[in-house]
Amino acid sequence: MKYEGPIYRPPSEANSLLIQATIGCPHNRCTFCLVYKNGPEYRVRDVVEIKREIDEAAEDHGFQIQTLFFPSGNTIAMDTRQLAEICRHARKKFPNLERITVYGSSQYIHQKGLKALQYLADSGLSRIHVGLESGDDKILRKIRKGCLSEKQVQAGKWVIESGMELSLYVILGIGGLEGSEAHALATARALNQIEPHFIRLRTFVPKVNTPLLEDVQKGVFKMLGPHGVLRETKTLVANLTCNSYLTSDHYTNYINVEGRLPEDRERVISKIDLALSKDENRFRSFFIGDQ
Ligand code: SF4
């Protein structure tokens, strides 16, 4: 298997076959993201090459492959017919394949529209991981996400309507001290409208080689401490009315909260309250991320 540039995959794809369909990220402007800041430039791999790698993997492990993930950062931006072609090819070659997943930002999902998403779902694409990050437009502009809330909500609804599963990521603390409450409330509003299958929480950690780290170091961006992040999480969860699975299993988080919403909401809030009763120095310390 040939890989080029950084290869990231969601924790839920730990057992998946990874075949790279695209390289880099066509947006590459988010102020918190370091992944492709040093390149490589975005490009789509040759479909013939991708299909050849699918064939090779099928020869070696055809019956064992149950989940397939196509990296890199925004594979949904790939031409719809080409993405559909590699999905159909994989479905043919791996008889026990249950899921094909990609990363995709709302702006590229929105550009595709519902019909193209339905075509992809019919071709075998089954799940998209999307960085919502926040539902607050002021924050989305500041972090240069490339898409505001209205489009994020529409894109998310289309993914669900197409029949695919939607996994949305939220960055706790991305609004800083000043924007914390607005971030929690607007994000809950967006999530309630979309009703994604999964809500995955990550806590903001400044990363090397990013504009947001520079703002943190200059004191322009004031980060939340552990209690601030926990209070923000509590406001977010308390305002969620959607039917979704909430999870936060990630090294950046201060605590792990997990459960089915809305049923488990009170249990999750009690866990946050318990964590809030502990001294702040009991949580992980500040660090600058390098991956
Ligand atoms: S967060 Fe995603 S969309 Fe933004 S630059 Fe990084 S890979 Fe690209």
What CATH number is associated with residue 180?
A: 3.20.20.70
Q: Whole-angstrom Cα distance, residue 104 to residue 76? A: 5
Q: Whole-angstrom Cα distance, residue 21 to residue 241? A: 36
- Closest-CA residue, ligand 1 atom 8, reads 28
Average pLDDT over every residue of 88-95: 97
pLDDT at 61: 87
Average pLDDT over every residue of 24-53: 95
pLDDT at 271: 98
Separation of 143 CA from ligand 1 center, angstroms? 10
Q: Whole-angstrom Cα distance, residue 152 to residue 136? A: 11
Q: Decide if pLDDT at 62 tops 90.
A: no
Q: Decide if pLDDT at 37 tops 90.
A: no
85 burial type by CB count under 10 A (0-12 exposed, 13-18 middle, 19+ buried): middle
Cβ within 8 Å of residue 221, ≥6 positions away? 176, 212, 215
Which domain range does residue 154 map to? 11-280
Separation of 175 CA from ligand 1 center, angstroms? 17
Q: Decide if pLDDT at 1 tops 90.
A: no
- Closest-CA residue, ligand 1 atom 5, reads 28
Average pLDDT over every residue of 34-45: 92
Q: Decide if pLDDT at 53 tops 90.
A: yes
Q: Whole-angstrom Cα distance, residue 76 to residue 253? A: 27
The verdict on residue 67 lying in a domain is: yes
| pLDDT tens digits, one per residue of 121-132 | 999 999 999 999
Average pLDDT over every residue of 75-90: 98
Total of domains in the chain: 1
Q: Which atom of ligand 1 is nearest to the CA of 73?
A: 7
- Closest-CA residue, ligand 1 atom 6, reads 33
Mutate to test the pocket of ligand 1, among 22, 25, 143 (most ligand atoms within 8 A of CB): 25
Separation of 19 CA from ligand 1 center, angstroms? 19
pLDDT, averaged across the chain? 96
The verdict on residue 2 lying in a domain is: no
| pLDDT tens digits, one per residue of 122-169 | 999 999 999 999 999 999 999 999 999 999 999 999 999 999 999 999
Lowest mean pLDDT among 54-63, 126-135, 224-233: 54-63
The verdict on residue 131 lying in a domain is: yes
Separation of 145 CA from ligand 1 center, angstroms? 8
Higher pLDDT pick, 11 / 249: 11
Instruction: Tell me the pLDDT band of 231, cut-offs 50, 70 and 90.
Output: very high
Average pLDDT over every residue of 261-275: 98
The verdict on residue 33 lying in a domain is: yes
Q: Decide if pLDDT at 235 tops 90.
A: yes
Q: Which two tokens stand for residue 3?
A: 């890989």
Contact at 8 Å (CB) between 207 and 288? yes
Cβ within 8 Å of residue 89, ≥6 positions away? 51, 54
The verdict on residue 182 lying in a domain is: yes
Q: What is the pTM of this model?
A: 0.96
The verdict on residue 285 lying in a domain is: no
The DSSP element (H or E) to which 48 belongs, if any, is helix 47-61
pLDDT at 249: 79
The verdict on residue 212 lying in a domain is: yes
Contact at 8 Å (CB) between 38 and 91? no
The verdict on residue 19 lying in a domain is: yes
